[in-house]
Amino acid sequence: MKLYDKNAVAKFLDMTPKNVERLTQKGILQTKQGNLYALAETNRAYIKYLRDRNPESQEAVDLNEERAKLTKTKRLNEELDLAVKKGELHRSEDIEKVMTAMLINFKSRLSAIPAEEADKLAAMTDKAKIFLYLNDKIKEALNELSDFEGMFKEEIKDEEGND
């Protein structure tokens, strides 16, 4: 075990060498082999001294404060549950399911446009009409994304029916 002088201990404990001497004289810190200290043992002794000196720092539990926190947390939880039941708030899992379903439907609709409309587009020669026609088809697909509430209710109804 390596031993250190009072200057090294003072530096380690962030104090003056004089304070190390004072704590040693009080019997808080113990020396080994004359005036040398075992650093780990000295550190533990100093921490114990600080804890014993200030028992308030051990975070005394205030039961009234803890009860108030618990009551507040329970109330908040009940308010959130009520908001979910009223449909004012949605669970993240439900939103994830609905958004996934909506995006899959959207992707399918966009992917289907070329196959469904190829024959009609092949017969068209006017670029402006082709543009407007494709634009309408894309807007129809995009419109589906704008009806989140309708899709949400539909998805939740399907889920409740499957339970």
| Tens digit of each residue's pLDDT (9 = 90 or more) over 70-123 | 899 999 999 999 998 888 888 888 889 888 988 998 999 999 999 999 999 999
- The whole-number pLDDT of residue 11 equals 92
Q: What is the Cα–Cα distance from 150 to 129, expressed in whole angstroms?
A: 32
pTM listed for this prediction = 0.46
pLDDT(20) > 90? yes
**Sign of the CA dihedral running 30, 32, 35, 38:** negative
Q: Which residues, 6+ apart, have CB-to-CB distance to 84 below 8 Å?
A: 90, 91
Q: What is the Cα–Cα distance from 145 to 136, expressed in whole angstroms?
A: 15
